[in-house]
Amino acid sequence: MAKAQTIIDEEVLDEIEEPKKRKKTKEVTNETLTFLESLNGIGPTTRKRLEDAGFGSKESIALATRAQLTEISGIAEKTATLLIREARAQFDLGLKKGISYQEAAKKRIKLQSGSSVFDELLGGGFESGSITELAGENGCGKTQIVHQLAVNCINQLKKDVVWIDTEGTFRFNRIKEMAEDLGLDHEHVLERITIGRAYNSEHQMALTEEAITMTPNIGLVIVDSLMSNFRNEFAGRGTLAERQQLIGKHLAFITKQAEIMNFVAVVTNQVAAKPDAMFFGDPNRPVGGNVVGHTVTTRIMIRKGKGEKRTATLTKNPELPDGKIEFAVIAEGIRDYKG
């Protein structure tokens, strides 16, 4: 029994139009059904409209924006939203030829940081299609960096920003200062940033999924900070396994969407003292254990120096050498450190 095809999110079944034609218990045994045919809630009229508009496949819907689906095929906005959500959830990352990786790599975008040496450390900037982690102590400048990246995303990529704020540290005023320094209309910039203030881990995961699904033309997804809610809620050792499982799920969702939609994903992270390395190297390590350490593609450690001076150390990336640079956090944003 091809059960997977019949089990569609109840929410989708309930919301998608033409509910009269839906047969909840219908078994789908035909493996060749298209994505649209496999959704019981999508009637023939809607299906034809979508197919005629070039949205017959799961891939085309997963990569479409809500506006495209409603404008080109004329379907309801709610249906479009649910279809996109379902298509993205089902998107299968099946077998591919090596050459397709070369094609994907060509499409990867490098989002600039504001500091040219910082960008060089990252081979040109923060890369789309995977997660980059910024880790460091309180006040080292992680939140400043993501403010600058948000402004740069709109300026350089002309794309929208999703910002999941778990500590209430988003500051529209910093966006204004950084935008104005680049000669941008700050209201236009703020208009393109969707902020989800997440009060607990469940809220954080739900808001992330909702914001990514609902925002057309995403260039950057920020989670600032990744672990604070999880650390507050799952304090005891007994709940650690559950916590790690949820974080894994959270990061897997972001990774998958970043790959499919080719946006830049940046998460910030706290650090805790390593019990085993008191005397050598950096005494701190990012929290979240192996789940975070293995899932992020790029890991950057940020350290505070004197005044505006900061250092960034690249400690993990599959194709770049490790390295360390100096940069500055100033009123205008992130810049090269001039000494």
Residue 15 vs 137, nearer CB to Mg ion: 137
Out of ligand ADP, Mg ion, none, which partner does residue 102 contact, by CB within 5 to 8 A per kind?
A: none
Closest distance of CB 144 from Mg ion, Å: 8
Residue 41 vs 286, nearer CB to ligand ADP: 286
CB under 5 A: which stretch of 44-52, 87-95, 164-172, 232-240 binds Mg ion? 164-172
Out of ligand ADP, Mg ion, none, which partner does residue 44 contact, by CB within 5 to 8 A per kind?
A: none
Out of Mg ion, ligand ADP, none, which partner does residue 141 contact, by CB within 5 to 8 A per kind?
A: ligand ADP
Please report whether residue 148 would count as binding Mg ion according to CB under 5 A.
no
Contact 133, 285 (CB under 8 A): no
d(Cα 29, Cα 135) in Å, to the nearest integer? Answer: 49
Closest distance of CB 78 from ligand ADP, Å: 37
Length of the chain as a residue count: 339
Closest distance of CB 224 from Mg ion, Å: 6
Residues near ligand ADP (CB under 6 A): 136, 138-144, 329-331
Closest distance of CB 172 from ligand ADP, Å: 13
Residue number of the CB closest to Mg ion reads 143
Residue 61 vs 334, nearer CB to ligand ADP: 334
Q: At what angle do helices 77-90 and 201-214 cross, to 10 degrees?
A: 110
**What is the greatest pairwise CA distance in the chain?**
70
Identify the residue among 38, 81, 130, 143 touching Mg ion (CB under 5 A).
143
Closest distance of CB 174 from ligand ADP, Å: 6
Q: Interface residues with Mg ion (CB under 5 A)?
A: 142-143, 169
